[in-house]
Structure 1
Amino acid sequence: IFHQDKHEENHQPKMHGGLVIKHNANQRYATNAVTSFIFREIAQKHNLPVQDFVVRNDMPCGSTIGPILASGVGIRTVDVGAPQLSMHSIREMCAVDDIMYSYQHFKAFFVEFSELDSKILVDA
């Protein structure tokens, strides 16, 4: 059972499809428009696939430490991860391709972030 009814129909992550940006209308994830944009721009520049994960707004969901870190430290934060099947089960699995994409994207992000972030003006 994949619980497809729990996700927005057009935002279901696929294994082998690249890192997933997590979005939630109730701010259960730290992603916002600016951090999502930065993450996508870096992915596009390095030709890395990116997906979106959106829980239906009428469904409860868990959270990550992202919102706590973002509010406590005051840094731009985006909640991302590799798509997984059966998270928290004894047979949790993910695709090797997505681990490679994770490494490539995080490496590019650390190199590119400061320059791209300095060009973004929000709430001026």
Structure 2
Amino acid sequence: MVPKTGKVGFSRQSDPTLLILTSLSSGSKHGHALIKDIEEISGVRLGPGTLYGAITRLEEQNLIKPLDPIGRRQPYAITATGIEVLRDTITNLKMIAEVGSRRLGINDKISPVLNTKVKVL
């Protein structure tokens, strides 16, 4: 997992679990499509080992599920539990960002969490 920017620091934005759930919230995807989408939305390129290790853990936690294979590709979909976990995580991160912004004197208001409907397969 390599951030494109090469910046040093800590960030949940590079957490594979959060990135995979966020990517799948827009619809089912197979591994290569996940890697591409995650890189587009976050600038983080997950390696195959990181991606499939995280996918295994997410399946075990019932946060994602495999769909019927399409040729050699294995698509995955977010579950209702996965949507709930993603919403809770985003809400928590938003609160932390707002507190951090206030403490640093950053006046820009953090955008409200979008209340969008996610398709559950």
TM-score by length of 1: 0.28
The structure with the greater share of residues assigned to strand is 1
TM-score by length of 2: 0.28
